[in-house]
Amino acid sequence: MGKVGKHSIIVHAGASLQRVLIGYVIGSGVGILLGLLMGWYPTVKAIFWPIFSIIRPIPSIAWIPISIIWFGLGENAKIFIVFISSFANLTLNAYSGAKSTDRRLVGAARMLGAGAGQIFFTIVLPGSVPQIFAGLQVAMSSAWATVMAAEMVRSSEGLGWMIVTGMSNNNIEQILTGIVAIGIVGFILAVLMRKAEEVLCRWNKSAV
């Protein structure tokens, strides 16, 4: 099919991807940092774990009304929804990775004179990478689904907007095109994440 609204389907897919990637990168970065710190430093966990425990069970879609109140109906509201979705997944996985650090390696490093910072960056962080990548894959799927829901609430472009507009106009072709495009892009993102994990975590698999 040709243009949908003012743009082609490629532009709509690109708009959705841009929102996802911005929120995903920020949310993943913050989530990984907080998760690692909570998993390794008891003081950080004591401060932030109660707050995270309240935020984590809340579905990301439930934040849509709050995001609109805080950020209005523009791009920032959609990016915030994606941020929340990615943040929750990565925080939990990074936390689990840090908690499962091999204490024997830590003890050996301390005997050799390694400081707290060296232990964190050379043992805790590398040991958490497999779980972090597992969280990155889940977070990407969740972020992609979340941005679709956000675009259905209020938007002027994007694949979610295509579906809502198709519903309003009773245009089955447009609805199905949007759904298929969502599936294709989601599949491509999942494949890319798996390939990235295979390359970056090759050392972990070879050691098993």
Residue length, the chain?
Answer: 208
Over residues 14-54, the pLDDT tens digits come to 888 898 899 999 999 999 999 999 988 899 999 999 999 99
- Residue 2 in any domain: the answer is no
- Residue 1 in any domain: the answer is no
Token pair listed for 60: 């990301």
Measured distance CA(13)–CA(11) in Å, rounded:
5
- Residue 23 in any domain: the answer is yes
3-state secondary structure of 88: helix
Measured distance CA(96)–CA(89) in Å, rounded:
11
- Cβ neighbours for 120, distance < 8 A, ≥ 6 positions apart: 36, 40
Mean pLDDT of 10-14: 85
Q: What one-character DSSP code corresponds to residue 194?
A: H
- Residue 4 in any domain: the answer is no
What CATH number has the domain bearing residue 91? Answer: 1.10.3720.10
3-state secondary structure of 179: helix
pTM of the model: 0.82
Asked if pLDDT for residue 107 goes beyond 60, the answer is yes
Q: Domain of 134? A: 9-207
- pLDDT > 90: percent of the chain: 20
Q: If pLDDT is split at 50, 70 and 90, which confidence band does 206 have?
A: very low
**DSSP secondary structure string, 103-164?**
HHHHHHHHHTT--HHHHIIIIIHHHHHHHHHHHHHHHHHHHHHHHHHHHHHS-SSSHHHHHH
Over residues 151-188, the pLDDT tens digits come to 777 777 888 888 888 888 888 888 888 888 888 888 88
Domain count, the chain: 1
